[in-house]
Structure 1
Amino acid sequence: MALRFAAFMALWTVFYYSVPSLHLLTWTVIGLGGVGAVLVGVRRYRPHTPLAWYLLAGAMLTLVGGDTVYNLLTDVFGQVEPFPSVADAIYLATYPLAAGGVLLMVRRRSPLRDRAALIDAVILTTAAALLLWVYIITPTVDNGKQPWLSSAVSIAYPLGDVLLLAVTARLATGGGLRGPAVRLLLLGVLGLTGSDVAYALVRLYGDWHVGTPADLGWVVFYVAWGAAGLAPSMTELTEPVARARHGADSARVIPLAVAALVAPTVLMIESLETDLRDGPVIAVTSALMFLLVLLRLYLAGRQTRELDNRAHTRAMLRELKHRAYRDSLTGLGNRLRFQERAERALARAQDCGGEAAMLLIDLDNFKEVNDTQGHKVGDELLVAAGQRIAGAVRPGDLPVRLGGDEFAVLLSDGATETAAVALAQRLIGVLAEPFRLAGAPVPVRASIGVATSSGGAGGTEEVLFRNADLALYAAKADGKGTWRLFEPSLYEAALQRLALRTGLDRALAVGEFELHYQPIVELQGPPRVAGFEALVRWRHPQLGLLSPGNFVPVAEETGQITPIGAWILRQATADAAAAGFGYVAVNVSPHQFSNGGFVDTVRSALRAADLPADRLTVEITENVFLHEATANALLDLQRLAMLGVRVAIDDFGTGYSSIGYLRDLKFDVIKADKSFVDWIASKKDHERLLRGIVHVAGTMDIAVVAEGVETVEQRDLLRDMGCAYAQGFFYSPAVPLGETSGVRATIEMGEN
């Protein structure tokens, strides 16, 4: 649109010079065309501050008005070169209006003071002012032929040009302007100044006539400002911007360099003449320009330092952000990055009707590696595991380390439950491959919990993570080294565990625990009850009578098993002394055995019950105890033996079942697990294996108790292979203390 306007105005300019008789009409059309173009641009583009453009339109309108009055005076009223006249008063109103409009643009674009741009504008304006002073103002003042009013009006024009040049230079040097509008405004001001200078020179040295080439500057003024108003970039002239960086580009340096050379050039020209009439002015201007250049260099240096500091600060912030979202050990993302990505993924899934999926990964035996081989090897394991996880995920998936030996993977958008399960299966295989650490292969397994938003996570990262954690807990309960997919029943089970956990302390305080006793029967010779195993029960006020499998694992997780176990020891020894049991067997959690102080607890219970130590058997679960076989635990075993307490390995055969441990730890009793006894009557390999255990135990003077005996055939086979004791429903389930004497009498009367 601006180009079409410029072309249209070019045609009218040709018409203006071609038909002198129509100067008044064509000149008015050219002037009003510029005014109309600005008004159309304001209406079309709606700038932030239209008043600035209205002031520019008003400035052009006053110039048109002055031209119209001047042409009327010369063409209609026949005046010859009227000066000064009413037209000059209207002309001079152009400059404050135009300067006001441009200054408003400067204020809107730069609400903060931009000293560098201001100094650049002053340098350029000072150079122009010196030229106007030397070649226009001084000759006009020295011309004694003109009345004082004519000289004053003649001087007013270049002063107005200096004012307009100053504010326009300030606008152009402010930076941040990319469109043509600002360049067109500057071109218009230069055109106006050029014609004003030409007019002043003609007034000094000749006669002024309308229609000369000197009018072209005013034409450029009208056309350039009109085109600026029609350019889409006109809106950016009144929009606030951040402070721009004033670099040393050629578009800025060359004009400033030329301006700085104006004073010495004028001095050189005048020195070639006989009369150096403007020497003081040139000297002052040179000093001012020198100071301005020094100040500009100082500001440029300070701005460079500020920019360098900002760049350094931004680099530090980027580094801090990178560290904030990265795990320093493995280089994977961290919990914060996972949380932010998960929240966005869930939001997108809700918007698009899709689902988000995640995996929670835990290295099952990391603690064992870390404790036995040191933290350095443990860190190597974490790094290697992180690399394997990162190498196994799909493009777009986010692997992170949450902390310790816990990792997670957030699957990319669009992932399904099937894709999450497939990735879990792949990671189980990848992490099952031995890791080479400290020059030796180390087997490591992982448990994985899988959860998706469609599985009940809703729209929150916390619920999705909780569901994956519950699935991971279930995977570990399944034997580790496997994966589980979240299902609502896991959450219900977790709520039940929470209820049990909160009720355990109350149960111990108010006496909701009770002991039941199952008889242990001699197999060789006449049937005789050798002792009873104490089995804890919880009479829950809402859930009824709970077996150990319902609450003991929860108590072990929370550490509440230690006070509960101490109570069981005290109560079982007291009951055994009161009821006259041959001996009583008490199950002991690894937490009790390895936390220290266990032997003192046993000694205290025996003393309180006045029960001989050899009538107490402590049962330690074999497949768990071997992981806790520290020096302190071995010392406790020796102290128990010295005390006279017997120690039994419970559930023998379900863990490592190392003969070496039987030799080194000097156990008194082996309790063969029910899983062996169940099949000895139908599977020869089970019978042979159990027979071998009984034989090996016999050679080491260790008694064997067969658990879970339920049939006559099982009893007879056990008796035949030389097993010393049996325990199971064939004889009796666990019963309250008050029923033990009847059970014992029934068994010893006739076990059939």
Structure 2
Amino acid sequence: MSEPGDTPGLGDIVRRWAARLGEVDGVSLPAETLEPALLAVAREAQAEARTARDAAARRFADLYAATPIGVVLGAADGTIHDVNPAFVELVHHTRAELVGQPLTRLAATPNDARVLAAAVDEALLPARRPRQERVTLTHGRDGTLRTRVTVATITADGPGLPHPVLLIEDIHELALLSEQLRRQNVQDPLTGLPNSYHFDNKLDTALATSPGGRVALVYLDIDGFRVVNDGLGPGAGDEVLRQVARKLEAGFAAQPQYEAVVARLSGDGFAVLLHDGQDGELDTATVVNLVEETMRDLAEPVYVDGTGVGVNVSVGIVVSEVPGRTREELHRAAELTLHRAKENGKAQWMLFERELHDRDRRRFGIGAAIGGGLENGQFGVDYEPTVTLDGHERIAVVNAQLRWDHPEHGVLRPRDFSALADTTGMTPALGELLLAQSIADAATWQREFGGAPDLCVRLPTRLAIDPNLVRIVRTELDRTGLPHDKLRICADSADLTDPRGEVLENLSVLAELDVKITLAVSGAADLELIHRHRLPVGFVIVSGTLVDALAEDGESSQGARRHFAMLVERARELGIFRIGVDGVHGTEHARRLAELGAVAGRGKLFGEEVDAAGIRSLLAESAGRMGPSRP
């Protein structure tokens, strides 16, 4: 029977179990005896369950209070039943301000309220998994707070639908980091302009969405930017870049119909994309006008810490129909056009031209392959004879020059690759090959023919100023056994005024080693360099327009005669009596040069360049005649 304080129904349960046990075979105890025993067991079990429930409730309360994640417990009617301390701290609202308010009142905007309401409604559906949403909530101090809300449900205290529960995380800093990473991915951090990745995406979009339109790609590069960095410091250079970026944006944003995108590609290089959709109104004249206006704006001094820095740019422009063009083709075309603008004097714009583009692609392709050609043994040495102009045409000197047996373009001469070798830094390696091979060949001729002609090697500027030049020459002379006085080193007059290197010292040291020094000049004025620098020059080679003019008749030839005569006279005053010429076209031309004082010459009249075997044949042929004269 029931006692005061019993849980309702517990006595009835005990009596039913006592009656059932009394009907079990083997149980002889009457119900009056079983009921107290069963009641004791039931009370013990009930107490254990109550203890476990209370412990679970305390653990939940502790977790609810201690968790760093905001928790909002909802009521069945969609209002806020309770919030944990973390949520109060998160949104800077008190518990009293929140409890009883609709859950959607937490949202900062109507759209966020709709998102939150939809998430709650979906979570209350049978067998639904928790749902996550990014929701901006109201914040008691800062106005709004970006959060990630997980909407789930908990079982109600009684019959009915489960109650919603919101688990809320602050993602404000995460969102800031995500935004920063996004900007770093598409934005140049220094200037704020789009970077190359973003620019390429915009170009791809323009090509994909404007099949009937036109695009313009403009590459800009600041001329002499290194001077700013080296002279004023990298901080000044950064400020110049920022101001250039602002001027570019302002200049090209004046034509919004072309959806201009201005980007910083790298270093001091910028690019602009213009496109016109489907109407095809974007024409070359419009782009050129924009470029010229922007160049004028950029030319106005940029002041950095009181110093006015002039900014000039070289510009490559490509305007093209969209169909059939790819991003890679447009980039390559703009880049090569920009290179051509810089090579032609800088501070100017150049327009893409297919013929020039193809030529430049071939030329730069050659330059890029120099290293591989050198490694694969594609370079050799040819020799051009310089012969006396005394009527006997005896070989006086052989002039060495590199030959490139290119697998695609055939035989290439120095004029085809020397400038590119300077650009790619391959000149020293090529020069060392030229000296080593030509000195070795000349040593062989000397051993075989005795009085073989001198070897003359004309140095490119980069090699003439190389501090290793003397070491290379001395090493090769010692290795091959060529007498030092059988080698002539020829330098250009421009080399003597080059501020970067040690050409004057190199030539002086070589002269002390008994190597003969030759100076290549284009006019009488160049000879003054010999006097000014007290150079030990023993030979002069004249080339260029002065020599060419002497091949012609008329007034221009008369002026050239006077100039050449002055040159010979000044050379003799300096103690130089051996004057050679480069570019002898014919017999009459050779006669005039000889009359004016030239003692030897080379050019078309005396044949093209030949390899070492060809020179050996010429020397063997002349071995039976009088030995070669010395000019």
| Normalised-by-shorter TM-score class | 0.5 to 0.7
- Alignment match of 2:316 (pick from 436, 449, 455): 449
SS at match of 1:411: strand
Partner of residue 204 from structure 2, selected from 343, 353, 361: 343
Go from structure 1 to structure 2 and tell me whether the alpha carbon gap of 1:678 and 1:630 turns closer, same or farther (over 3 Å shift). Answer: same
Secondary structure at the aligned position of 2:604 is classed as coil
Question: CA separation in 2, counterparts of 1:385 and 1:413?
Answer: 25
Identify which of 239, 245, 251 aligns with 2:137: 245
Rounded to whole Å, the distance in 1 between the matches of 2:268 and 2:195 is: 13
- What are the equivalent positions in structure 2 for 1:76-475 lying under 5 Å apart? 115=72, 170=102, 173=105, 175=107, 238=121, 242-243=134-135, 245-246=137-138, 310=172, 327=188, 332-350=193-211, 353-367=212-226, 393=252, 395=254, 396=256, 397-411=260-274, 413=276, 415-424=282-291, 446-454=313-321, 458-460=325-327, 462-475=328-341
Q: Which residue of 2 aligns with 1:513?
A: 379
Change (3 A) 1:345 1:379: same
Instruction: Judge conservation of contact 1:121–1:170 (CA < 8 Å) in 2.
Output: yes
Which segment drifts farther, 167-176 or 703-712? Answer: 167-176
Q: How does 1:566-577 map to 2 (within 5 A)?
A: 566-577=432-443
Question: How do 1:16-95 residues align onto structure 2 when only pairs under 5 Å count?
Answer: none
Aligned to 2:51: none
Instruction: Give the equivalent residue in structure 2 for 1:730.
Output: 605
Q: Quote how far apart the aligned CAs of 1:436 are.
A: 8.8
Equivalent residue in structure 1 for 2:484, among 609, 613, 635:
613
SS at match of 1:115: strand
- 2:475 pairs with 1:604: yes
**1:532 and 2:391 equivalent?**
no
* 1:121/1:576 CA distance change after superposition, 3 Å: closer
Deviation of the 1:670 alpha carbon: 4.9
Give, in angstroms, the shift of residue 525 of structure 1. Answer: 9.5
Instruction: Looking at secondary structure, tell me which structure has more strand per residue.
Output: 2
Q: Spell out the pairing of 1:647-658 with structure 2 (5 A cutoff).
A: 647-650=517-520, 652=522
- Cα displacement (A) at 1:571: 1.9
Structure 1 residue 553: deviation in Å?
4.1
* CA apart distance, 1:242: 4.6
- The structural deviation recorded for 1:505 is 5.5
Q: Is 1:641 paired with 2:500?
A: no
Identify the range of structure 1 (371-380 vs 481-490) with the bigger mean alpha-carbon deviation.
371-380
Q: Is the 8 A contact 1:428 1:483 kept in 2?
A: no
Counterpart in the other structure of 2:16: none
CA contact (8 A) 1:672 1:707 kept: yes
8 A contact 2:218–2:271 mirrored in 1: yes
Contact 1:519–1:532 (CA<8 Å) still a contact in 2?
A: yes
User: Which is helix-richer, 1 or 2?
Assistant: 1
Decide whether the 8 Å contact of 1:117 with 1:173 is kept in 2.
no
Larger Rg: 1
Contact 2:336 2:361 in 1 (8 A): no
Local SS of the residue matching 1:356: strand
Could you tell me how far apart the structure 2 residues matched to 1:245 and 1:522 are? 97
Deviation at 1:586, TM superposition (A): 1.6
Shift of 1:529: 3.9
- Write the deviation string for residues 392-434 of structure 1: whole angstroms up to 9, x where unpaired: 5452544443333433232354643443344555667777889
Deviation at 1:630, TM superposition (A): 2.8
* 2:41 alignment partner in structure 1: none
Q: RMSD of the TM alignment (CA)?
A: 5.3
* Counterpart check, 1:582 vs 2:443: no
* Structure 2 residue identity aligned to 1:639: V
TM-score by length of 2: 0.60
SS in 2 for 1:606: helix
Aligned length: 487
Q: How far apart are residue 599 of structure 1 and its match?
A: 1.9
Normalising by structure 1, report the TM-score. 0.52
Q: Answer whether contact 1:527 1:747 (CA < 8 A) is retained.
A: no
Instruction: Give the deviation of 1:709 after TM superposition.
Output: 2.4
SS at match of 1:340: helix
Tell me if structure 2 keeps the 8 A contact 1:457–1:467: no
Q: Distance in 2 between matches of 1:658 and 1:315?
A: 70
For 2:136 and 2:343, locate their aligned partners in 1 and report how far apart those are by CA, in whole Å: 63
Farther off after superposition, 436-445 or 525-534: 436-445
Identical-pair percentage = 27
Contact in 1 for aligned 2:109/2:136 (Cα 8 Å):
no
Please state how far the C-alpha of 1:697 moved relative to its aligned partner. 4.8
